[in-house]
Amino acid sequence: MRDPQGRKRLHPGLLLFALFSLALPVSYIWLHLVTPSDGARLVRSEQGITPQGPVLEPYQPGQSPLQSGDILLEVEGAGMLDWMKRLFDPRLVRPTWQLGDQVIYTVLRDGEQLDLAVSLERLPWQVILREHWGVILAFLLIQALAVFVYLQSPADPAASALFLWAFSASHTYTWAFGLQVSDILGGYGFWSYRLAATGLWFVFWGASGHFALVFPRPLFFGKRQRLLIGLSYLLAFLIPAAYLAWRWTYALNLLDWWNDWSTGEFLVALWIMPVFILLLVYQYFHSPSAVEKIKIRWAVFGGLTTGLLSFVLYFLPNQVFGQPLLSPNALGLVTYPFPFFLGIAIWRYQLFDIDLIIRRTLVYTVLTLLLSSIYFAGVISLQALVGVIGKVEGSQAAVVVSTLGIAALFTPLRRRVQAAIDRRFYRQKYDAEQALAQFAAAARDETDLETLTTQVVSIVQQTMQPEQVSLWLREGKESEAHFYRNGE
């Protein structure tokens, strides 16, 4: 849609989708703030629901009779399978419990069946925010970024796709609060959760495929492009639907089948992510435009930054040491570089020199890995050598000597790493720098004008690779021009 001056206006459909995607989690969260809670949520995992009932996880362990891992069998004498079946019958009257009421839960704990009197209180939303503020803040920033980029470039298809992708990520807000027993018993909360969390999750991955089809430029045009974009969203819903239809024939009961939803949600990401990567690779190697290649490098650099930071600071230490270096909240903020660099690629790809950023990132990443390896190897080796002095003294001496060695190695090792990376990944730039350095050295000693002229033209051809080179020399009032084409 365009205004009378020919400028493209904001698409009202996108604005309505943004409002709708925010209204869904807001209504879900508001429902839980004004209704009583048992102080627990359903475990979010592939084993979160068993054929006997859902697995519970208290928000505040120790302040509730419920314990993490309790399997809920019955509520007020009615089995959870019956409660699940009632979700599909809107005519049934739902329980209307109030704050302070006590409800009898029958749970299975360590193989023993227990009846627990659970008091209904207000939802401990402060606990939820403490656990997930990093993720919530990260996606709020992502949505703000998407709005800014879209307002700056409303005519860019990639800006519209980024806008859809960012606001479909509102499923994160619902996911942070989780599904509760009251949602299953009341019905409305359960379906609201599925719409706000699961539904927007599918749209999120459909928008990912949409973005890959239009960034940095549309792969196709007209009906074919619209068909592929629509197919991306359609498959995001059809893939889990097909899986759940297949699993229905093997499920023990409705509870067992409903547990398969988490696997169906995972399959969507498993299908879309490789397609996203392959389309970016295809665009990069088939794009004739240097600008488009720069934009793709921004996107790839953002993805690698987020992925490496998450792996090195959270997942790897958690697996090796049993304790990550980042908190879950900080991990949420680590996801921000990817959409941030996407925004730069769409809005102003020349804001920074991406090649220089990538080059320095490679240099200092490799340098950090090498220095860390040398440091730890040095500490271990020196501790073994000076172990005869005493455990404490040897340990301190090893740390001091290794630290001094790292300080001495930093500059020469950085130069060698940078030279190696330039030769491997920036060969043309490396050759140009070497040629300029050789010319500067030769120019200090060379006095023959014709030789210097030939060298200047050769250097320009090597470093800039123009179609033609012209050199004009002026001597007093007369001038002499030398014209070269392709080295002739």
The mean pLDDT value for 372-393 works out to 60
- pLDDT band of 251, cuts 50, 70, 90: confident
Is the model's pLDDT at 209 over the cut of 80?
yes
Nearest to residue 35, comparing CAs of 156, 154, 180, 161?
180
Please enumerate in sequence order all residues whose Cβ is within 8 A of that of 208, keeping only pairs 6 or more positions apart, or say none. 165, 232, 272, 273, 276
CB 183 within 8 A of CB 193: yes
Greater confidence (4 vs 78) lies with 78
Greater confidence (458 vs 288) lies with 288
- pLDDT band of 478, cuts 50, 70, 90: very low
Report which DSSP code applies to 473: E
Residue 122: C-alpha distances to residues 36, 65, 96, 349 (Å):
5, 16, 15, 48
Greater confidence (43 vs 402) lies with 43
Is the model's pLDDT at 425 over the cut of 90?
no
Q: Dihedrals φ, ψ of 54, to 5°?
A: -75, 150
Structural domains of the chain, with CATH: 12-16+131-358 (1.20.1070), 37-119 (2.30.42), 359-425 (no CATH), 429-484 (no CATH)
The mean pLDDT value for 218-246 works out to 92
- pLDDT band of 201, cuts 50, 70, 90: very high
pLDDT tens, residue by residue, 8-55? 567 889 999 999 999 999 999 999 999 999 999 998 776 678 889 999
- pLDDT band of 402, cuts 50, 70, 90: low
Is the model's pLDDT at 73 over the cut of 80?
yes
CA distance 90 to 188: 10
Residue 335: C-alpha distances to residues 176, 303, 339, 449 (Å):
16, 9, 8, 58
Name the β-bridge partners of 107: 72, 114
The mean pLDDT value for 251-273 works out to 88
pTM of the predicted structure, to 2 decimals? 0.74
- Give the pLDDT score at 1: 46
Report which DSSP code applies to 9: P
- Give the pLDDT score at 2: 46
- Give the pLDDT score at 263: 86
The mean pLDDT value for 64-81 works out to 91
